[in-house]
């Protein structure tokens, strides 16, 4: 047997092993939480929610009003925009009029640094009243138990950061389904695998990061990410290095990707891949062992034989079982209607990972940026619309 089929066989098996481990860890994580005790609402700390806004999302009112309708004793919601001409301002004004005791909005200007989101949040933090701060994206919709669930781990004083996964629960278009499947079947399970291998989470993820004020002050505040990509990763990593625990919540955000085309989804994930590589270093290349369905398909296609067909079907079966487990346990059953997209999703995930292995240019909100080591950003071209 030549080297190529041996290598593809080994990679197919490591990919299958990843799917098994990911499925088991997903099952354990999302079933064990039901056995945990929950603190009474009246004992939970007051919270300031910081929402950086740039432009008007398709379902902005639904998203932002959901943050203002929490079953939680004491909290506030602070929205920030960077331009006085931002089209979101009339909606923000209406939100603040509807929830006058809970919501406020601010003009966060001038811009500080290259990371516009970090600039926005750092200025909002100056207006926060409470000692627990939640940074959340403007394109998420939450249920009324969002804050109550997110703050539960704070009963342990060693927990300095809490974060959670995010999925579009009801994708309507191909691009949105493509993104949702990737987050549900690959991203969140891979976070659980990294959490197990590292003996705990060493970074924060997604559009929600909860931090204690004392942690922010100790690590240098949101300013540490002003010129870096992935402020969520940076904040979690800095807190871990400072000796605090980073906890992953069982809450799954509903992230609206309704307007995403397949091209924009691929563009965004390529940006994430290069950002992860710059932040995680050589650990990024370890993801080569994750793509069992791709390797087994190549093996069967290049070396057709009963045993390669058997390996292909076995790996595919394990992958589909892991997919169903993830979809059901994360409360996104409508994704089952998009499972026919899984082969394309797996191939594109492999190609995006491969693209992330090379180059350091990313396209982010109309700007070309260069991502250097440890997520350091450098602007290359301003206001470019080229992909």
pLDDT at site 37: 61
Q: Is 149 left (phi over 0), alpha (psi -120 to 50) or beta?
A: alpha
Strand-by-strand arrangement of the 140-141 sheet: 103-107, 75-81, 47-52, 132-136, 208-212, 159-167, 245-255, 140-141
Q: Give the residues of the chain that fall short of pLDDT 50.
A: 383-387
CB atoms < 10 A from the CB of 337, how many? 11
Alpha helices per DSSP H over the chain: 3-32, 60-67, 89-98, 116-125, 146-150, 174-182, 188-198, 213-219, 231-241, 262-280, 292-302, 306-329, 342-356
Token output for 197: 């291998």
How far is it, in rounded angstroms, from Cα 177 to Cα 342? 10
Q: What is the pLDDT of residue 237?
A: 94
pLDDT at 36: 55
What was the pLDDT predicted at 293?
Answer: 97
Q: What does the alpha-carbon distance between residue 240 and residue 234 come to, in Å, rounded to a whole number?
A: 10
**Residue 147: per-residue pLDDT:** 96
* β pairing state of 75-81 and 103-107: parallel
| 13 φ, ψ (degrees, to nearest 5) | -70, -40
Q: Is 119 exposed, middle or buried (0-12, 13-18, 19+ CB in 10 A)?
A: buried
- Per DSSP, 201 falls in state B
* Closest by Cα among 4, 18, 13, 26 to 286: 18
Q: How far apart are CA 92 and CA 85, in angstroms?
A: 13
What would you measure as the largest C-alpha separation in the chain, in angstroms? 72
Q: Could you give all domains of the chain from N- to C-terminal order, each with its CATH number?
A: 3-28+278-359 (no CATH), 45-261 (3.90.550.10)
Give, in degrees to the nearest 5, the angle at Cα 294 between 292 and 296: 65
């Amino acid at each position: 047997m030549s080297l190529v089929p041996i290598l593809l066989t080994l990679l197919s098996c490591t990919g299958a092993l990843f799917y098994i481990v990911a499925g088991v860890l997903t099952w354990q994580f999302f079933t064990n939480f039901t056995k945990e005790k929950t603190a009474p609402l009246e004992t939970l700390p007051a919270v300031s929610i910081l929402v950086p806004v740039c432009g008007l999302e398709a379902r902005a009112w639904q998203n932002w009003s959901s943050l203002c309708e929490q079953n939680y004793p004491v909290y506030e919601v602070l929205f920030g925009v960077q331009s006085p001409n931002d089209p979101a301002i009339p909606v923000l004004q209406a939100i603040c009029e509807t929830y006058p005791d809970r919501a406020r909005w601010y003009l966060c200007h001038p811009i500080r640094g290259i990371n516009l989101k970090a600039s926005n949040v750092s200025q909002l933090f100056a207006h926060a009243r409470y000692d627990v701060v939640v940074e959340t994206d403007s394109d998420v919709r939450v249920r009324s138990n969002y804050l109550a669930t997110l703050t539960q781990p704070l009963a342990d004083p060693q927990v300095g950061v809490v974060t959670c996964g995010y999925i579009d629960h009801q994708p309507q278009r191909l691009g949105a389904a493509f993104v949702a499947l990737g987050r549900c079947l690959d991203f969140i399970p891979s976070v659980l695998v990294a959490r197990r291998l590292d003996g705990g989470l060493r970074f924060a993820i997604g559009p929600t990061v909860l931090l204690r004020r004392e942690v922010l002050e100790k690590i240098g505040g949101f300013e540490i990410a002003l010129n870096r990509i992935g402020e969520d990763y940076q904040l979690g990593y800095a807190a871990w290095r400072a000796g605090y625990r980073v906890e992953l919540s069982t809450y799954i955000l509903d992230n609206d990707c309704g307007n995403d085309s397949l091209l924009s989804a691929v563009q965004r994930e390529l940006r994430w891949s290069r950002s992860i590589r710059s932040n995680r270093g050589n650990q990024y290349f370890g993801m080569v062992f994750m793509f069992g369905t791709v390797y087994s398909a190549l093996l069967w296609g290049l070396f057709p034989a009963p045993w390669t067909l058997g390996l292909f079907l076995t790996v595919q079966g394990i992958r589909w079982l892991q997919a169903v487990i993830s979809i059901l346990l994360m409360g996104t059953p409508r994704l089952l209607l998009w499972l026919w997209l899984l082969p394309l999703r797996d191939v594109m995930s492999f190609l995006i990972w491969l693209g992330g292995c090379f180059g350091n240019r990313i396209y982010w909100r109309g700007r070309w940026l260069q991502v250097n080591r440890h997520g350091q950003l450098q602007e290359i071209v301003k206001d470019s619309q080229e992909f």
